[in-house]
Amino acid sequence: MSRFKEEEIGTRLRNVESAPQPPSSNAVMHAEAASSNSCRPHLAEQLMKQKNGKRTSDMTLEEMYYNSQYDFGDDEDDDSDWEPSALSAHDVMEIPKWFCLNCTMLNIGDDTHCDVCGEHRESGILKRGFVASASCREGATENGVHAADGLDPLVQSIASDNPTAIGFDERMLLHEEVVMKSHPHPERPDRIRAIAASLATKGRCHPISAREITQAELLKVHSVENVEAVEITSRVFSSYFTPDTYANQYSATAARLAAGLCFDLASAIWSGRAKNGFALVRPPGHHAGVKHAMGFCLHNNAALAVSAAKNAGAKKVLIIDWDVHHGNGTQEIFDKDKSVLYISLHRHEGGKFYPGTGSAYEIGSMGAEGSCVNIPWGRGGVGDNDYIFAFQHVVLPIAAEFDPDFTIISAGFDAARGDPLGGCDVTPAGYAQMTQMCCALSGGKVLVILEGGYNLRSISSSATAVIEVLLGESPKQNAVQVIPSKAGVRAVLEVLKIQLNYWSSLESKFTKLQSEWGWYTLEHKSAGKLKKKKRLEKQLPVWWKWGRRRWLYKLWCKKKIL
């Protein structure tokens, strides 16, 4: 690793703080004076000033995260000239505030439960995972079982004869934002603490020893610029690659451990030492490109797992990315590689959702057209039915035709129900069904890698549901009839129209779905009318249905619906 000159440090990292110092120090050295938005002081005031002046696609992940909490409308009255009357010291009352452990959202007052997610202020989720009650404080008795009992799942040995391997190392917990801001960072160590606590109740996985990935292995995916930029963070107390992508003196080690675990898990699964695996790692990776770290990601863990699988003998590798954000870094790395098929399902909204990439028309280049398949959702709130419908009509047909030797899932759980950043509605049962469909590919050689997910209860319950499927359990719910939303059908049709030029298996799917478009539209119209009718019926006395005024009742409902 070449040494950086002191004058080059500023060009490599933004907002680097001086060498190791106590956390209470406020001495911060900015590489660029103009980039003051890299910190988050006075967040509410900043958002009020910005209002609608900034497009969503231009926002960082954190700005989008906070916008989901603060919604400042236009003030009708201008009170800029208002001055408070003189108040004595005893008249001033400090309003208590606290941040929710589960979703990190700000709460005002002495309430014991979060206003956003309903989690108890003293939740036991870090000790018992999602099994802990959301309504009880830590240590309370739940169904006769004490929450805690001195159990530390992070150091507990979880060994079993089952060939599902788990990649985890406590040193990844040291990667955190060390400078106090106005709001906790959503990508925090508690994310994997909650999952580890949930997995401790299973006790049916076996761990794989962790090692730091080597520089030579990193350079198979990343440029020297990326490798050295991450490495230099170990010499400073706090630094930022982008306004929302932080590092401290332990982040480089954590990133190398995460990458090393993914690399070795891929090798173990390919060789047969493990049937499948789950990489419980952070920092995440799918936004990290060839040169740049961004979107909370330093090294691209999925891309390095692909490298390991290929080194071991895999000829064709499939990556399925169901994180709510598009994996722009993974797409960039394999854009010209036709031996790697990248399929991403994500919120896009015409490029307005972070990071703005991932259009259905981004298909790969330089002879690798068709090796990139983007399924962009045009709105939030997308749930199980839309995801499973997309799997049935796009993901599985293309994957079967590609016939991969190895499958990697970039498993972000920020599309999960309750996630404050994703704004979607996928349940643990939905993730389990998607995992089961993936396990039918590549002879079951599947590696699941953790990406995003910022609600501790959602991420831990979803990850556990996925691991249960890897262990051989069937999903708790199976969709008998999948009825997608109208927007979901439209998105799938758009993708099919573009990708059928490269995948012959899609032609029948596209033709059939086109013919059924009218049925889906009618189905949604009928469902909408039924809901409206029930709502209108409640506005009139029920006895009108059977009395002398029943004709007026029917006329009223029919007129309002039409």
Positions of the chain with pLDDT lower than 50, given as ranges: 1-53, 69-77, 79-80, 82, 140-160, 560-562
Packing angle of the helix pair 190-200, 456-470 (nearest 10 deg)? 50
pLDDT the model gives residue 20 = 41
Q: 391-419 burial, b if ≥16 CB within 10 A, otherwise e?
A: bbbbbbbbbeebebbbbbbbbbbbbbbbb
Reduce the DSSP state of residue 278 to 3 states and report it: strand
Q: What are 124-153's pLDDT values in tens digits?
A: 999 999 989 888 886 544 443 333 333 344
Please tell me the pTM assigned to this model: 0.79
Catalytic-role residue among 120, 185, 222, 287: 287
pLDDT the model gives residue 535 = 58
pLDDT the model gives residue 189 = 98
202: exposed, middle or buried (C-beta count within 10 Å: 0-12, 13-18, 19+)? Answer: middle
Reduce the DSSP state of residue 203 to 3 states and report it: coil
Which token pair is 17? 């703080």
Packing angle of the helix pair 456-470, 428-439 (nearest 10 deg)? 30
How far apart (Å, rounded) are the C-alpha atoms in residues 523 and 518?
Answer: 8
- 287 catalytic? Reply is yes
pLDDT the model gives residue 161 = 54
Residues 6+ apart with CB under 8 A from 231: 1, 252
